[in-house]
Amino acid sequence: MGAKLLEFYQQAQESAGLQGRIKLAMITKLSQEKAKEAADSPKNIQLFADAVKKIQAE
């Protein structure tokens, strides 16, 4: 569970370092630890994808 969501945390880390991970958690309201346990549902994947795009655009 949460494998895809953790990939988004990796992308945020690569794009903006620790600040990127923090912003991703703030936008999605899911910490990296909770993302591990969360379902890779289409809704969650879309939420994380949109958040990472926003972080990368900054």
DSSP per position, 4-50: HHHHHHHHHHHHHHHHHHHHHHHHHS--HHHHHHS---HHHHHHHHH
Range of the structural domain that residue 37 is part of:
3-57
Question: What average pLDDT does the segment 37-58 reach?
Answer: 96
Q: Name the band, by pLDDT with cuts 50, 70 and 90, for residue 43.
A: very high
Letter string b/e over residues 23-52, b meaning 16 or more CB atoms within 10 A of that residue's CB: bbbebbebebeebeebeeeeebeebbeebb
How many domains does one find in the chain?
A: 1
Backbone angles phi, psi at 29, to 5 degrees: 65, 25
Mean pLDDT of the chain: 96
Q: What mean pLDDT do residues 21-26 have?
A: 98
14/16 Cα distance (integer angstroms)? 6
pLDDT surpasses 80 at 1: no
pLDDT average, residue stretch 11-35:
97
Which pLDDT score, from 0 to 100, does residue 42 have? Answer: 96
